[in-house]
Chains A and B, each alone.
Chain A
């Protein structure tokens, strides 16, 4: 786990960042659309190849162990009583669902093939790394961030554990660990509840030009990572080859994780629930906001036009 930072340090750093960033000249440059050279990275997961060996699960835990929470107990009392304590620190070996210590798990799904054969598919499940991730965009503190390579991650030094990211995630991926993080230095009784954790696609390995641990270790080469356009093309070819189906191209406006399955996703039978995400169609959750952005361009023009119109009308009246 990363070392905690103090409230003073957090506020000082935040306001310094705010002042320099907003007052500075770089903000226009900062809002950089992804260009061709910085095309998001996408992982393509060929479900038909996965044998459910869980090598990826353990490799993920090993590679990210230094980021895991190490809470001190007892936890501070939180008010009101409805605030849930979510403690997975004594259940770190749970691997049949997502937890703050298991960012990737194998989901079992049964299905019937076109030939009528009953099969069991094993599906590596983790954060989908949405192209426009609501967990990042709607975080009220900016604790979650999206990088230009398309991965999204939560900064454990800033996250207060309010779990909004989980609520707005169509798959409810992020998982909370109580008793760690910045909230302990602020108002632990009245605000915050720990830190949210999820797959960060081994950003520290990607920065070094390496592959994420789950991809690196897989004996069946279930996953492939590459530029979005390349992976979409490959997914289409793979789907055509196996007469299969794709998940992730349209879901939530497109994700940077693409699954290819030999069976339609709506015919897969699997457990869902807490920490066990679904594979249902998902509408673009950020679309309404994006559409309304246009209204914010039109509104001031309309307001100014109305004022000019009113003024012109009165001038005519007075003339």
Chain B
């Protein structure tokens, strides 16, 4: 049993519950509990990650289980950055439950990828592999932030147009703020995705002599890349609602690239 991760999960669940309560009842003390719990969870989570790294003697980011755990960890990092920059609390209410869910999934998924973990990382230019995966997971976290900001944008935009406001409306950050968060995160996510794809191509050309395998994951990653490229290109013309719609749709594509393509088989299926 992974007690360290279990303890992290407990802290994350506590954080999620308090974040929701703080959102509903606007109690500053409850909010503090959520933030402290999140910090504790993050510390434990980091410790679990480092322990795995030392124990297994390899970068612990391979296969579904480790990827889910790492994704949760990067989401906390992304939230920390967004919170530091914009002081927005509402995001945590949606993000902390997701983090708790991902860690739960991590604890439930069986480990079955260890056997193949060595093969990629020990081949030619194997050192690129952890960079490739880390970059991509961070880009997913950034796209999640884009998604959350876009959803908040669309929700508020709709209520402003209809002129009827729900309780949620008053608790969300302003339109300009969420638009700003969305476009900043999209820029970061896109850069990370580009670098992730490039490192993947380098790794693959070193190990198999091909940079492209026509693998579903590669195809969808390319489509995702093109979509965000378009979004960034039309940043000004699409400012506001259109960008937000792309932010939501793009994240659907990200999820599919991440999970859906597993079902379609191919070069990228490990776990």
Chains A and B bind each other: no
Binding site for A on B (CB under 8 A): none
